[in-house]
Amino acid sequence: MSSSSDETPGVLSGTLSLSGASSSHDDHGSTPAAWTAVLLCIIGFLLGGAGLVASMPALAVVGGALALVSPLVGKIMSAMGLGAAAK
Protein backbone atom coordinates (compact mmCIF):
# COMPACT_ATOMS: atom_id res chain seq x y z
CA MET A 1 0.00 0.00 0.00
CA SER A 2 1.56 3.26 -1.07
CA SER A 3 0.83 6.72 0.19
CA SER A 4 -0.34 9.23 -2.38
CA SER A 5 -0.92 12.93 -2.07
CA ASP A 6 -4.72 12.66 -2.43
CA GLU A 7 -5.17 10.63 0.78
CA THR A 8 -6.37 12.20 4.00
CA PRO A 9 -3.39 13.82 5.72
CA GLY A 10 -2.31 12.23 8.94
CA VAL A 11 -4.24 8.97 8.70
CA LEU A 12 -1.34 6.80 7.54
CA SER A 13 1.30 8.65 9.49
CA GLY A 14 -0.46 8.04 12.80
CA THR A 15 -1.12 11.69 13.56
CA LEU A 16 -4.53 13.23 13.47
CA SER A 17 -5.24 16.88 14.01
CA LEU A 18 -8.63 17.74 15.44
CA SER A 19 -8.68 21.44 14.81
CA GLY A 20 -10.06 23.31 17.81
CA ALA A 21 -10.68 20.18 19.88
CA SER A 22 -7.67 20.62 22.13
CA SER A 23 -8.60 24.16 23.13
CA SER A 24 -11.72 22.98 24.98
CA HIS A 25 -9.85 20.39 27.07
CA ASP A 26 -6.60 22.13 27.92
CA ASP A 27 -6.73 21.29 31.62
CA HIS A 28 -7.73 17.59 31.20
CA GLY A 29 -9.75 17.85 34.40
CA SER A 30 -6.67 18.19 36.59
CA THR A 31 -8.33 20.11 39.40
CA PRO A 32 -8.54 19.51 43.15
CA ALA A 33 -12.25 18.72 42.78
CA ALA A 34 -11.67 16.10 40.08
CA TRP A 35 -8.74 14.47 41.86
CA THR A 36 -10.64 14.32 45.15
CA ALA A 37 -13.73 12.79 43.53
CA VAL A 38 -11.67 10.16 41.72
CA LEU A 39 -9.63 9.33 44.80
CA LEU A 40 -12.77 8.94 46.94
CA CYS A 41 -14.34 6.72 44.29
CA ILE A 42 -11.26 4.48 44.08
CA ILE A 43 -11.09 4.19 47.87
CA GLY A 44 -14.81 3.38 47.96
CA PHE A 45 -14.46 0.63 45.39
CA LEU A 46 -11.44 -0.83 47.19
CA LEU A 47 -13.24 -0.81 50.54
CA GLY A 48 -16.39 -2.26 49.00
CA GLY A 49 -14.44 -5.00 47.26
CA ALA A 50 -12.51 -5.82 50.41
CA GLY A 51 -15.78 -5.97 52.34
CA LEU A 52 -17.26 -8.38 49.82
CA VAL A 53 -14.21 -10.63 49.77
CA ALA A 54 -13.88 -10.64 53.57
CA SER A 55 -17.65 -11.23 54.06
CA MET A 56 -17.99 -7.93 55.95
CA PRO A 57 -21.27 -6.43 54.70
CA ALA A 58 -20.84 -3.23 56.71
CA LEU A 59 -17.51 -2.47 55.03
CA ALA A 60 -19.00 -3.27 51.62
CA VAL A 61 -21.89 -0.86 52.25
CA VAL A 62 -19.56 1.89 53.49
CA GLY A 63 -17.33 1.45 50.44
CA GLY A 64 -20.31 1.50 48.08
CA ALA A 65 -21.72 4.59 49.74
CA LEU A 66 -18.36 6.36 49.49
CA ALA A 67 -18.14 5.52 45.78
CA LEU A 68 -21.68 6.82 45.22
CA VAL A 69 -21.06 10.07 47.15
CA SER A 70 -17.77 10.89 45.41
CA PRO A 71 -19.31 12.62 42.34
CA LEU A 72 -21.40 14.79 44.65
CA VAL A 73 -18.27 15.79 46.57
CA GLY A 74 -16.59 16.68 43.27
CA LYS A 75 -19.54 18.84 42.20
CA ILE A 76 -19.64 20.62 45.56
CA MET A 77 -15.91 21.30 45.44
CA SER A 78 -16.25 22.53 41.87
CA ALA A 79 -19.03 24.90 42.94
CA MET A 80 -16.70 26.20 45.67
CA GLY A 81 -14.23 27.23 42.96
CA LEU A 82 -11.90 24.23 43.15
CA GLY A 83 -12.93 22.82 39.77
CA ALA A 84 -12.41 23.78 36.16
CA ALA A 85 -13.71 27.14 34.99
CA ALA A 86 -17.15 27.03 33.40
CA LYS A 87 -17.10 27.18 29.64
SS (H, E, C) the chain: CCCCCCCCCCCCCCCCCCCCCHHHHCCCCCCHHHHHHHHHHHHHHHHHHHHHHCCCHHHHHHHHHHHHHHHHHHHHHHHHHHCCCCC
Query: Is a pLDDT exceeding 60 seen at residue 86?
Result: yes
Instruction: List, for residues 1-45, the tens digit of each pLDDT value.
Output: 555 555 555 555 555 555 555 455 566 778 999 999 999 999 999
Query: pTM above the 0.75 mark?
Result: no
Mean pLDDT of 35-58: 97
